[in-house]
């Protein structure tokens, strides 16, 4: 039982890393109804910008602040040059725009900051700690705490402020929101900036674990099962989906892996997501589409 609990808790804590990536997708999807394929590239760009500035001698806090400002400027440029001209186009057109944007962002990042692998030390040692007799990873525990703080801040932002009310209005009915005088362009700018900051947090944690390198952009692929399971329109669903994916793949590797030769972790989340599509296509917390016929 002790081994089972340690494996389960380790998987749940690791799942928060997936949740942090998925939250960025949820924010963009709620505001525009489009799956933002460029989120992985923005995550890479944010982490690479921070680590480059820090390596150039800027203090940690200053490098973090400058990176946030860069992400805000990037959000303004993306909204002005990419989203606004395509505001009335179909969702597939916007998706293809984000797909192209991902390559542009990666190209700009490589041109400005190179393609070398950077190590990132956040001062968090990945060592085991004991909580109530159970051994857990200190890094995963602090990553989970970071995710909890981030979700709390986002919940306050989107539920207790005018910006949040405007975002929910746009998500519910874009045309009705526009008729009430809500500035859609401004909402997109804010949401892309917030998604960039969320990507920065996720990129720093992932970069500290496996190095800041261009493979970070492929973290987007790991977020897909999380979104399918939790739902594309719910931040809470992103958290729940990440926890389910983290726990299930860790338990499957520990208890099923030995019987089939291991290697379950890379694909088990996708098997689970396909299973959810059969029984719950909208995800656990997703909104079902209702159409009049």
Q: What is the pLDDT of residue 107?
A: 92
Helix, strand, or coil (residue 134): strand
Identify the band that residue 201 occupies on the pLDDT scale cut at 50, 70 and 90. Answer: very high
In the chain, what are the domain boundaries?
Answer: 19-216
pLDDT one-digit tens code per residue, 64-107: 999 999 999 999 899 889 888 887 788 888 889 999 999 999 99
Classify each residue of 77-108 as buried b or exposed e, where b means 16 or more C-beta atoms within 10 Å of its C-beta. ebbeebbeeeeeeeeeebeebbeebbeebbee
| Residues 233, 237: Cα–Cα separation, whole Å | 8
Are the C-beta atoms of residues 78 and 108 closer than 8 Å to each other? no
Annotate 21-87 with DSSP letters as a single string: HHHHHHHHHHHHS---TTHHHHHHHHHHHHHHHHHTT--HHHHHHHHHHHHHHHHHHHIIIIIGGGT
Confidence (pLDDT) at 71: 93
Looking at residue 73, what is its pLDDT? 94
- Judge whether 269 and 21 are in contact, CB under 8 Å: no
Distance, CA of 154 to CA of 142 (rounded, Å): 18
- In the predicted structure, residue 15 carries a pLDDT above the cut 80: yes
Contacts 24+ apart (CB under 8 A), 81-84: 83/32, 83/185, 83/188, 83/192, 84/185, 84/188
The average confidence (pLDDT) of the chain is 86
Task: Pick 215 or 47 by higher pLDDT.
Answer: 47
Distance CA 169, CA 177 (A): 6
Q: How far apart are CA 245 and CA 251, in angstroms?
A: 10
Average pLDDT over residues 14-37: 87
The pLDDT of residue 61:
94
Least confident range from 10-19, 24-33, 166-175: namely 166-175
Q: What is the mean pLDDT of residues 227-236?
A: 89
pLDDT tens across 114-172, in order? 888 898 888 887 788 887 777 888 888 888 888 889 888 888 888 788 888 888 777 77
State the pLDDT at residue 289.
60
- Whole-prediction pTM value? 0.89
Min mean pLDDT across 110-114, 166-170, 242-246 is at: 166-170
What is the pLDDT at residue 31?
78
Is pLDDT of 266 > 80?
Answer: yes
- What pLDDT does residue 287 have? 67
- Is pLDDT larger for residue 293 or for residue 276? 276
């Amino acid at each position: 039982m002790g081994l089972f609990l340690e494996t389960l808790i380790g998987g749940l804590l690791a799942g928060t890393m997936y949740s942090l990536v998925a939250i960025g997708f949820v924010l963009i999807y709620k505001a525009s109804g489009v799956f933002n394929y460029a989120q992985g590239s923005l995550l890479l760009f944010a982490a690479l910008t921070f680590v480059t500035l820090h390596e150039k001698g800027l203090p940690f806090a200053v490098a973090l602040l400058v990176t946030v400002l860069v992400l805000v400027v990037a959000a303004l440029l993306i909204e002005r040059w990419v989203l606004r001209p395509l505001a009335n186009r179909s969702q597939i057109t916007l998706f293809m725009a984000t797909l192209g944007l991902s390559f542009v962002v990666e190209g700009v990042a490589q041109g400005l900051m190179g393609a070398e692998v950077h190590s990132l030390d956040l001062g968090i040692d990945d060592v085991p700690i004991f909580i109530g007799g159970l051994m857990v990873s200190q890094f995963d525990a602090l990553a989970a705490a970071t995710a909890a703080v981030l979700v709390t801040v986002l919940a306050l932002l989107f539920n207790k402020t005018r910006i949040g009310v405007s975002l929910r209005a746009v998500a519910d009915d874009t045309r009705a929101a526009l008729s009430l005088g809500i500035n859609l362009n401004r909402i997109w700018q804010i949401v892309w900036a917030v998604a960039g900051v969320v990507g920065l947090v996720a990129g720093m944690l992932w970069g500290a674990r496996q190095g800041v390198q261009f493979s970070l952009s492929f973290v987007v692929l790991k977020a897909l099962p999380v979104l399918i399971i939790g739902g594309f329109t719910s931040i809470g669903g992103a958290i729940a989906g990440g926890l389910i994916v983290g726990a299930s793949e860790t338990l499957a590797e520990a208890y099923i892996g030995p019987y089939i030769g291991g290697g379950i972790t890379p694909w088990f989340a996708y098997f689970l997501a396909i299973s959810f599509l059969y029984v719950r296509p909208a995800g656990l917390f997703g909104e079902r589409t209702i159409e009049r016929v």
